Chain A
Amino acid sequence: MKKKPTSVLYGLFCYFCILFSCDFGYGQKRIVVKGTIVVSNSGKGLEGVLVQLKKTTSSTYTNRKGNFFLEDISKGFAVLELFLEGYISKNIPIKFKEGEELDLGKIELFEDNTKEQLFTTIAISDDELSEDEIGGSDNITGLLQASKDVFLRTAAFNFGQARFKVRGYDSREGTVLLNGVEMNKIIDGRPQWSNWGGLNTVLRNQTVSRGIAVSDNSFGGLLGVTNFSTRASEYRSGYSLSLAATNGSYKNRVMVSYFTGLQKNGWAFAISASQRSAQSATMEGTTYNAKAVFFAVEKELNAKHSLNFTFILTPNRRGKSSPNTQEVYDLRGTKYNAYWGFQEGEKRNSRLKEIVEPIFMLNHYWLKNESTTVDFSISYQFGHIGNSRLGYFNASNPDPTYYKKLPSYNLRLPGNLDYAGAFLSLKEFKRNGQIDWRNIYQTNATTQYANYYLYEDRNEDNTLALNTKIDKRINPNLNALLGISYTKLKSLNYAKVLDVFGENGFVDLDGFALGAARQNDLNNKNRTVLVGDAFSYKYEVLVSKLKLFSQVEYASNKTELTGTLGYEQTNYQRKGLFRNGAYADSSFGLGTKKSFNDFSMKGSGLYKFSGRHLLALNLGYLNKAPSIKNTFANIRSNHNFSSNLKSETKITGDFSYRYRAPGIKARFTGYYTQFSNAIENYFVFAQGLRGDASDFVGQTLTGIKKKHVGVEFGLEAQVSSSIKLTAVAAIGQFVYANNPHLYLESDQFKGVESDFGIAYLKNYRLGGTPQNAYSVGFEYRDPAYWWYSINANLLTHNYLTISPLLRTNNFFLDKDGVPFVNENTQNQISQEDVKGLLSQERFDENFLVNLVGGKSWKIKGTYLGLFASINNVLGAVYKTGGFEQSRKANYKELKEDKELELPLFGPKYWYGNGTSYYLILSVYF
């Protein structure tokens, strides 16, 4: 059906009416007690506080702004009890008369620092990996850590270790803000957790909105918005020190902080620093070296104006671990990591990820009047992200798991099984099987030339962001917001030589190409590169982004309604600094500018039958420009855009029923989300293209439609004052909903040749997350300040990430366009033959038991806390993710490989950590 333009206009008119305070007139209801509950140090409204009259059944919860309304209360004296986990409960005696309206105004709740709930969360978010490879195990749990919702808390603390993604969403669906400024990286749209990792104490002031529910700070994505506030005045004064030991991503952590709080002279200072380190963490050879420094200063100029300056520097460098084939895990165990080797007795990891991106931010808070606030901020971030790896030219692949080095290679010819060779390879791999640094040095010394070198793919972003937000309360029930932000980014990307292992350097050539295409930079042919030089590729992306968002909220004691509109303009332009030999005409200088204009809207409604029963509905229609990574088909080599480039459209809706009674909290939600016009772009080496070609190709999958549908359930039952039971379930189905289009781009496949047609993906499951998860928990909290909890979790329906290339016509057609022949039947291959090879692997379900406990003491004004957790007590071994290799890209090649007892190019997997512990000792004074 075609919408009439007039009705849209009318809708917009109404919307702006609300925005610009056409007063609706609010029907008076008999409110007996009302008030606003705020956090003690920040003065921010606190949502979800249980407000109840003792010895009655009258109770309610505060809304997002911290407001509560209680009515129909019998006259006389009563005690109003305020309760929220993580805060010190408060009892307020009140006295009131019939028909009287009692406004309690602002009531402060204090944080309960004796509970170390947050530490577990941080253990997980530190783990956050954002591998660039296919099916990379990026994690979104960081987004959920501060949630008060039992479902999301369980998802973060208990499911997170198995790479559970809420509703199957990628982490780019979550928006992370620092004082209202968006921190998601423009390159891939994902929040870069390392940029504030280790600053747990100072990033405790968070505002979290989940899903597409309303946020005061940004339009947000499907996973919601997390805003960290770093106003120096909001920190409670004092010193704190904590020491942690773990066997997870790192071994040790030291964290110290000192806050002044708002002093009488109007100044507030906050300083915090931490260090996390490991020479080798859970996975072999994964070093961890992270420091964090935080500094914030606020000056309250007068009652209306306040300025806050924040500086964050979190240099983080850690060794990565490799995904491996099952053959490798079977030989070396699930802790095996191919990226390291001994160098002169020390473990050296060849793949380090380093992030140093300091943030400078200035915020201006202006309380214009009782009902209007204006926030303005300017932020600048620079620095670099480097991912190192070994490069080699005209020398043997240094990867110890290179397929020719494994026993399977000796057994690849069914008619000529070389058992002797396989035995030698097996012995060699089991005994040595790591990077042979000595050989690397020796080789370079032998050839007097850097056949081996260490380099990093380096990204240097310079981001300037301006942000302003006007928040106006039109009347007690109506609130309007307008936010504008402008971001300018210059992203420089190149490969940088880090080490040439003793030798002179090497010539910057593409070893796999011929002729002029060998030159990575035609402007500087046959250039010898040395440590510190750029080589292989070098380009900048110039980005500007303008965002507008406006929101109207209406709240009454029964109903809350919100409407939000968003507009985003995105401009991308590539500037090549190298003239690539294979793309002499389309690689150097400025490319064409690409602009996207995207409108989004969402709305939500909440209806309270009573304080106990609530119905909530959220609907959204979102458009988003593709990330830089997906906009360009082969950004390292040329200006070319991905084919069928369009903004991604998301249509989403969820419906929840919530039950909240003293002692019991429950939520049941059903959701449905459809992504369309999505683009995915990544690189693979494939054999069997167009019959028999092989090449390193950029794959772009365009026009992807995905469907995420499911239900969520969470229940929290306070059985007694010290015992709490929880139950959580997530049952979802995340699938490809259409057959998108696949393009390959390389020197060989250009223009028409790059079109590989339709990829038959419909109804394949999306990989990278368990689609179903269940949890039950028991918590005991002793009045003597100690507590423990135990959780049992079952995660199922986690699938292998499939390779789209294997699902194109290329898979079953020979070079001449005729299907391959089944060697057994001598007939053309049938649908059955193909299906057998392309069925999607479902990982075994896994059962995880986690234990958490803690105790706290107060000794003469000093708080001492001890917290301990053991994850995966039973030591379950399980796959958290994996991806199909595209190397055997057609029926013939794949069949040959799959029929082997030990396939050479089987899927690569990640395994979960085994049993891990976490121990924290903290002191406050």
Chain B
Amino acid sequence: MVTILVPGVLRGEAGGAARLDVAASGTLRAVLDEVGSRWPRLERRIRDERGEVRRYVNVYVDGADCRLSDGQDTPVADGGEVQILPSVAGG
């Protein structure tokens, strides 16, 4: 089981939940794929139609920015935590 932490601005796409549990583990991609199958509107806020994490969305695996490790190939262990956060951007 992997826990997804959903930011407030996206909770409407997750039935209002701040935390989601998914069965998939192994890689961040597998975790986000399961998010896409169960909460597709949430997933497409996180990834574009090419499956890439959107530029101004940050994804942390156990507290580490996935862009500073292996992107969506970053390992996610059973019991891990994936946090979604919008980056500081805009005017």
Q: Determine if chain A interacts with chain B.
A: no
Using CB atoms and an 8 Å cutoff, list the residues of chain A in contact with chain B. none
Using CB atoms and an 8 Å cutoff, list the residues of chain B in contact with chain A. none
